[in-house]
Structure 1
Amino acid sequence: MLNAGVLTFQEFAMRETLPLATIHESVLEFLKGRSDVVLFGAQAV
């Protein structure tokens, strides 16, 4: 994953206690090894 575990500027400025990267890591860890899940992601640039 690109930039895994990195705080965004907004998370840093707002002193976020639960960064989005931590949530992503937890979700991906939960889904690892499962055969009944499809993960789709898209990002607008």
Structure 2
Amino acid sequence: MSANATIESARTDHAAAVAAIHARYERLSRQLLLETEHQRHALVAGTSVTV
């Protein structure tokens, strides 16, 4: 494998890894927002929330 092919392969692998991390971050961020919203609604309704 040539040096250019090795570099291109590394760039492709890195881009895929960054995309996977970004997707995981987005999922966790949405989940946290939903949980926060549920807790807020529970507090407004006068119930206790345990995590």
TM-score, normalising length: structure 1 = 0.37
* Bigger CA radius of gyration: 2
* TM-score w.r.t. length of structure 2: 0.34
